[in-house]
Structure 1
Amino acid sequence: MKIAFYGSSLLSSYWNGAATYYRGILRDLASRGHDITFYEPDAFDRQQHRDIDPPEWARVVVYPATEEAMRSVLAEAARADVVVKANGVGVFDRELLEGAIANAAPHAIKIFWDVDAAATLDEMRADPGHPVRAALPDLDMVLTYGGGPPVIEAYRQFGAAECIPVYNALDPTTHYPVEPDERFACDLAFLGNRLPDREARVEEFFLRPAALLPERQFLIGGNGWDSKDMPGNVRHRGHVYTAEHNAFNCTPKAVLNVARDSMAHVGFSPATRVFEAAGAAACLITDAWEGIEQFLIPDEEVLVARDGQDVAEHMATLTPERAHAIGQAALARVLSEHTYALRGAQVDALLREYATRTAEAA
């Protein structure tokens, strides 16, 4: 099928945590014969911080962040069999969603792909005129990258014809064990951009343990933290490019995952970082959220912390041998059950089943 995908960025992970998710799923769909065009605006300095060149498996159209350019790329939706609008593009989100639906061919499958479903649903509850609420009657399905039963039920109550989670996963061709890199040497590392709906949790799960363990070394990577007051044993690395993620995950004794507020509240929302770390055989510590057992087994494949005190206790007792064992167990689990090949197969089956069902009905 010919897929027109309107998203934040395929080429850059700069202020764009969904990049590796898009890459993993779309690369696999391309391997299954789908013809993919990804439309991304030149915004937020993402094009100046590219992680990859345009790939051979997708046509990437970078358009100026202007209304005229946006209307021009929306016109191309008419030639697609599948039209996807992802949330969080950052510019013209309402217009892109409305235009993707309006320009789609009559036979096209129209999808809203929500990579921040819990937050989107909170916005929809607060705003009866929210563009996604208005668009749901004209959409064939909503795909999310997390949320489980709570998100499925909420979207259905808002009128979604179908809501199906397509979870984050591992692309073992891009994230895998490598040799340690002294730039990332520490006891505990955290990678994530500074966002209002995660900062308090980072303070609790990362900065508080750092203060409790002044003899240990901590490392934080991601955008926005340079102006944050931190304990003296915390180093700030700044933006960490995708090509550096493996070394970032392999070098510390352990790495930390901290969910955003909405995802932690809803549960069933493992971040991309979870699978990237597991793919590198890192010992992962994650904040507690409902559904973690669906992805990794606590105390065997991941360490779970209810608060910063738990993180500090994990770090105080974690030996290199146990960290290695947990990392190896996590790697084996994600390779068997959580790869983008499996997620791609899921989406491919969804698209083909829907197209067949629609053709038979017609």
Structure 2
Amino acid sequence: MKIAFYGSSLLSSYWNGAATYYRGLLRDLAGRGYDITFYEPDAFDRQQHRDIEPPEWARSVVYPATLEGLRSVLSQAGAADIVVKASGVGVFDTELLEGIVQHSRPDALRLFWDVDAAATLDEMRGDDAHVVRRMLPSLHMVLTYGGGPPVVEAYEGFGARLCVPIYNALDPTTHFPVGPDERFAADLAFLGNRLPDREARVEEFFLKAAAQRPGRRFLIGGNGWETKAMPDNVRHLGHVYTHQHNAFNCTPLAVLNIARDSMAHIGFSPATRVFEAAGAAACLITDAWDGIEQFLKPDEEVLVALDGRDVAEHVGSLTRERARTIGQAALRRVLSQHTYAHRGAEVDALWREQRAKQRSAA
């Protein structure tokens, strides 16, 4: 089956945290026989910060971020059996979702893949004319990056025929244990872009912890932090490319995950960083959110913190031996239950079931 996938970027993780998610899922689906074309706009300097070249497992189409460029790629939706519009493309999001409905074949499977469901749902609650609300009757399903039962209930309450969370996972061919790299030496490292709905939580869980442990080394990677005031024991790296993530995760004593406001509130939304770190056998400290036990067992496979003081206590008491034990346990867990092969099998079964229902109805 042919898939037309309209998303932010497959080739670049620059201001695009969903890149790892897209790559892992689509690589697996390609291995299951899907013929995939990924359409991404040339926007936000992503093409100047590519992590990968066009892969062999998907056709990559980069289009100008103009109305003409938009029309050129929407016209190709009619050739696909499955047409996907992901959230957060950043340019022409409304026109893209309207366009896949307009240009796809009547027998095609049409879906919205929401990689920030909590934020999208907040927008929908405040706007009766929101494009997702308007298009739901014409979509066969909504897939989400996470969110668990609260997100499913909310989408179904808005009229979605079907909503299924497809969680982040590990691609073991991309993220795995490597040797240390002194560029990333630290007691605690955090990787994430500076975003309005994350910054206050970074202040609480990372910067406050650093201030409470002045004798320890803290490292922050990601875009936008260069103008942020930080304690003297915090070092800022800037953008960290995907091929550097393994060393970034393996070198420090521990790495920190901090959920964005909306995802922390909803729960059941592990970020890609959770699985990247676990796949590298890193000792992960995460802020607390509902559903963590579904993915990693607290105190054995992950350390959980309620606030910056908890993070500081974890860093102060953690030994290399215990960090290694936790990291190895996390690696075993994600390899056994949370790889993109597991997620791809789920998506494949879901799509085949829906296509069979369409054929039966026809």
TM-score interval, normalised by the smaller of the two chains = over 0.9
Residue of structure 1 equivalent to 2:276: 276
State the 1:358 CA deviation: 1.0
Distance 1:19 1:355 in 2: 27
Distance 1:112 1:119 in 2: 14
**Structure 1 segment 297-336 matched on structure 2, within 5 A:** 297-336=297-336
Q: Could you list the per-position Cα deviations for residues 200-230 of structure 1 after superposition, in whole angstroms to 9, with x for gaps in the alignment?
A: 0000000000000000000000000000000
Q: Could you list the per-position Cα deviations for residues 90-115 of structure 1 after superposition, in whole angstroms to 9, with x for gaps in the alignment?
A: 00000000001110101100000000
Distance 1:131 1:285 in 2: 37
Distance 2:71 2:257 in 1: 38
Distance 1:299 1:255 in 2: 15
State the 1:40 CA deviation: 0.1
Distance 1:54 1:37 in 2: 11
State the 1:360 CA deviation: 1.1
**Structure 1 segment 136-147 matched on structure 2, within 5 A:** 136-147=136-147
Alignment-mate amino acid for residue 67 of structure 1: L
Distance 1:120 1:346 in 2: 23
Distance 2:25 2:316 in 1: 38
TM-score by length of 2: 1.00
Residue of structure 2 equivalent to 1:18: 18
| Local SS of the residue matching 2:169 | coil
Residue of structure 2 equivalent to 1:246: 246
User: Does residue 30 of structure 1 match 2:30?
Assistant: yes
Alignment-mate amino acid for residue 60 of structure 1: S
Runs of 4 or more off by more than 3 Å in structure 1?
none
Residue of structure 2 equivalent to 1:295: 295
| Local SS of the residue matching 2:359 | helix
Distance 2:176 2:206 in 1: 24
**Structure 1 segment 173-252 matched on structure 2, within 5 A:** 173-252=173-252
Distance 1:82 1:350 in 2: 12
TM-score by length of 1: 1.00
- Runs (5+) with no aligned partner, structure 2: none
Q: How many residues align?
A: 362
Q: Could you list the per-position Cα deviations for residues 315-334 of structure 1 after superposition, in whole angstroms to 9, with x for gaps in the alignment?
A: 11001100000000000000
| Local SS of the residue matching 1:60 | strand
| Local SS of the residue matching 1:259 | coil
| Local SS of the residue matching 2:110 | strand
Residue of structure 1 equivalent to 2:258: 258
Q: Could you list the per-position Cα deviations for residues 264-302 of structure 1 after superposition, in whole angstroms to 9, with x for gaps in the alignment?
A: 000000000000000000000000000000000000000
RMSD: 0.4
**Structure 1 segment 59-138 matched on structure 2, within 5 A:** 59-138=59-138
Alignment-mate amino acid for residue 273 of structure 2: R
Q: Could you list the per-position Cα deviations for residues 118-158 of structure 1 after superposition, in whole angstroms to 9, with x for gaps in the alignment?
A: 01000100111111111101000000010000000000000
| Local SS of the residue matching 1:156 | helix
State the 1:117 CA deviation: 0.3
**Structure 1 segment 31-50 matched on structure 2, within 5 A:** 31-50=31-50
Distance 1:113 1:356 in 2: 21
| Local SS of the residue matching 2:161 | coil
Q: Could you list the per-position Cα deviations for residues 23-64 of structure 1 after superposition, in whole angstroms to 9, with x for gaps in the alignment?
A: 000000000000000000000000000000000000000000
| Local SS of the residue matching 1:8 | coil
Q: Could you list the per-position Cα deviations for residues 51-80 of structure 1 after superposition, in whole angstroms to 9, with x for gaps in the alignment?
A: 000000000000000001101100100010
Distance 1:129 1:313 in 2: 47
Distance 1:125 1:254 in 2: 38
Distance 1:234 1:321 in 2: 24
| Local SS of the residue matching 1:28 | helix
Alignment-mate amino acid for residue 288 of structure 1: A
| Local SS of the residue matching 2:277 | helix
Alignment-mate amino acid for residue 291 of structure 1: G
| Local SS of the residue matching 2:299 | coil
| Local SS of the residue matching 2:216 | coil
Alignment-mate amino acid for residue 63 of structure 1: Y
| Local SS of the residue matching 2:16 | coil
State the 1:344 CA deviation: 0.5
| Local SS of the residue matching 1:277 | helix
- Runs (5+) with no aligned partner, structure 1: none
More moved, 186-195 vs 127-136: 127-136
Distance 1:69 1:12 in 2: 19
Residue of structure 2 equivalent to 1:351: 351
Distance 1:258 1:74 in 2: 36
Distance 1:93 1:21 in 2: 19
Distance 1:37 1:205 in 2: 39
| Local SS of the residue matching 2:101 | helix
